[in-house]
A = this chain, B = another copy of it.
């Protein structure tokens, strides 16, 4: 498997990355092609498509191996489900599948860069393939999503004091609030007195969660 590109996102670690792609359209990322694939011909005509699939490497999970079943965080961490019935990273072949929105194609010298939104990838993640989203085959309005449907609406209210929010660059604020609304605590945690933190866009954001409400306590430049 060749690495064709790497993605540049605002997440230096896995913590607080959205659980699936497309949940946070306010997140922008850049797909930078590797030397061998930087010829803009590789993406000729890609602007005709609004959405793209990324096939990428779960590069952080190699050591864990795979078991036939996993315990999805959204099921509370106690229910075992077959790995092929989940999008878990702990699978026989560590390949992720994400749908992103194509915002624009930029040029950086001689190479093309794809600017996309909605990616659920860590900064630097290796990309193996990019394919256009084809509504004719990929859009399935009648699809049922099992437990992912039932937990689609789990979200927190967010209290982000204005003086803290304004420490972030304006174009990052909406995404930061969105990340908090998606409850970025580690799975199965529920301690109202604990201060959690995550890194995003060069800032450390600290927050607590009480009664379905995320309250931001501090924002610090890293």
Contact = CB atoms under 8 A, between A and B. Distances in A.
Contacts of A98: 137
Interface of A: 1-2, 4, 20-23, 37, 39-46, 48-51, 53, 55, 68-69, 80-87, 91-93, 95, 97-99, 128-149, 152
> How many of these chains are in the complex?
2
A141 B144 contact: no
A49 B146 contact: yes
A139 B134 contact: no
Chain A at the B interface: mostly helix, strand, loop or mixed?
A: mixed
A50 B137 contact: no
A161 B149 CA distance: 46
Contacts of A133: 140, 143, 145
B132 A146 contact: yes
A128 B2 CA distance: 16
A3 B49 CA distance: 31
B132 A87 contact: yes
Contacts of A68: 37, 39, 41-42, 44
